[in-house]
Amino acid sequence: MCEGEVTEVAYFEAFPVNRREVHVAVEGEGKNTTSLVAAAVEHADRAVEAQDPFDEAWVVYDHDDFGAERFNQAEDDIRALDQDAERRERWHAAWSNQAFEVWYLLHFQFFDGKLHRHLVQRKLGELLRTRSLRPRGYRKNDPDLYRLLLPLQADAIKHAKRLEQEHGVARHAHVTPAQANPCTMVYRLVEALNAEIP
């Protein structure tokens, strides 16, 4: 389940997983972080009622203009869902601070300075133009970004892991997602999807 209705959905739907063996349901909700988690729970519960339960549920969201408390609460809620013994599926948070585009930018370079999401988008547009990947720069709803960025995906994963390490997100429970700026856990979902590509 994605917070964004277009950008994230187009990216994740482009993964060439074996759809006969792996059912990937990507839905964009356009909701704030905590409402998104609630919508994901409702979606998972409906799947159980339809006798088609998920093995895993991933919630993709970013900080945007949502307050730090809501942003951090979403991860806490997802962690609690994953630890709930009554839930069949595993729950994962794939958050980005400050925007999903941090994931895209990490395909081109490592950066660790705080950047507002508009600057991240502008920098991404410049890189897409200078690398001759997109003459008009970055467009949020570009359905070809997965294909264009795929040759750089290993670098993005490496850069995202380095950011996670430098911010201490994995080591220190007291480091919140809102404090880790820039950072993204999208690489975890990308690795999970890559493992399902035939």
**Any idea where the domains of the chain sit in the sequence?**
7-194
Give Dmax (Cα) for the chain. 51
Taking alpha carbons only, the member of 153, 160, 157, 180 closest to residue 75 is 180
Give pLDDT, residue 10. 87
CA 21 to chain centre: 23
**Dihedral sign (CA 26, 28, 33, 35):** negative
47 near 182, Cβ under 8 Å?
no
132-178 pLDDT, tens digit each: 899 999 998 898 999 999 999 999 999 999 999 988 876 556 789 99
The tokens describing 38, both together, are 């609630």
Q: Is 60 helix (H, G, I), strand (E, B) or coil?
A: strand
Q: Percent of the chain, pLDDT > 70?
A: 96
Taking alpha carbons only, the member of 112, 113, 142 closest to residue 128 is 142
pLDDT band at 35 (very low <50, low <70, confident <90, very high): confident
The tokens describing 32, both together, are 């704030």
* CA distance linking residue 11 with residue 41, whole number of Å: 22
Of 34 and 125, the structure prediction assigns the larger pLDDT to 125
38-85 pLDDT, tens digit each: 989 999 999 999 998 889 999 999 987 778 999 999 999 999 999 998
The lowest-confidence range among 84-88, 102-106, 123-127 is: 84-88
Give pLDDT, residue 141. 84
